[in-house]
Amino acid sequence: MNGRAALVHDRALEAYGFGDDHPFNPLRIRMTLELCDALGLFDGHPWVEPELAEEADLLTVHSLTYVRLVQQAAAGLVDLVELAPYGIGTSDNPVIPRVHEAGAHVVGAVLKACRVVMSGEYDHALCVSGGLHHALRARASGFCFYNDAGVAIARLKEEHPGIKVAYVDTDAHHGDGVQWMFYDDPQVLTVSLHESGRYLFPGTGGVEEKGRNGGIGYSVNVPLEPYTDDESWISCFEAVVPEVLRAFEPDLILSQNGCDAHKLDPLTHLSATTRIYEHVPRRMHELAHELCEGRWVATGGGGYDIWRVVPRAWTALWAAVSHQDLPEKAAADWIAKWSSMSPVKLPALMFDDPRDYPPGPRQPQISDANHRTVEAVLEQVLPHIR
């Protein structure tokens, strides 16, 4: 099951962020990369230089009017009142200098990751800066201006006619942008496990959202109850994801690995630990080798406890992508460096201690509700997937 793995990254990708006071802080990427490096996990593995996405790439899934407005907003050439209908300039999606270039760079990096895997140069690739899954055709949303996965999938479909892409999103927030872009497309399977939209942004991702026209059955949503813990989360994942991927038989798996389902995350209400961030990449790796000759591209995504959760979760992701064991302890020099800046104590271990996260009082009821959701999902979509 060994294979060649690459990290697609350069320092310019860390320009996509909205400042220290905004939840979406690229410092989490810097901390992740330095943790991987301090643990020796980059030794012998190449870094691939990303490329800036061209306007034509963006226009595969975004409208020309929208792209022009993002460009003009970044240059300060348009009034915020005109931008409001497009989600630009809100507290979630503030205008920063060169936001167009920064967003296009993320898109280009994920596109590059997909291309080096499809070319056979690498079996797996990680672009931890990617995962901007909320951006819509003509609207910024949820910290996302451009949809990197959407562009990459659209381009792959052009460059490899007949390709079947499975997009698997385990962010706590529904992967709405990618879903809607391919909602009627049977060549693209979108799977999202997330906290129910009844309680969390963006308010979508119900079981009934299963695609339309020829795409019925190819949008798969598993909305989880608030306070879902590891046992129920993993049970739902295992009941749905392998089943629908095997039915679909993809040529490539593109996974979005947001790590905001963790109990410490300040923006969500799930109760997972680092256990799921070890489990999911390992299973994606195994399923890629089982179903599509190992072709797997992974991205980052959400994750807003940038000190204690994100670096460890995405280091575990890189370890899975690059066929390495995750060390038991975090690197002492990494802890020493970042402790001086962190407002909270940094964990000494790469794995959460289960004793620190005892089950909540309603777990049997939550697990039962999630089990019923899974049954409804499979009944809705499996008869349609070919």
- Residues tagged active-site: 134
Spatial distance between the Cα atoms of 358 and 352, rounded to a whole number of angstroms: 12
Give 230's contacts (C-beta < 8 A, 6+ positions apart).
271, 272, 273, 275, 276
Here the contacts of 325-328 (C-beta below 8 Å, separation 24 or greater) are 326/278, 326/350, 326/351, 327/39
Amino acid type, 381: V
> For tokens 């590891």, what's the residue?
230
Does 202 sit behind a cis peptide bond, omega within 30 degrees of 0 on the bond before it? yes
Comparing C-alpha atoms, which of 95, 2, 12, 93 is closest to residue 52?
12
> For tokens 């410092």, what's the residue?
27
- Are residues 312 and 350 in contact, defined by beta-carbon separation less than 8 angstroms? yes
The continuous run of DSSP H or E covering 158 comes out as helix 148-159
**Angle (deg, nearest 10), helices 27-38 and 332-339:** 150
> For tokens 């004793």, what's the residue?
355
Q: Cβ–Cβ contacts within 10 Å for residue 275, how many?
A: 19
Exposure of 359 in the CB half-sphere (CA atoms within 13 A): 11
Spatial distance between the Cα atoms of 148 and 151, rounded to a whole number of angstroms: 5
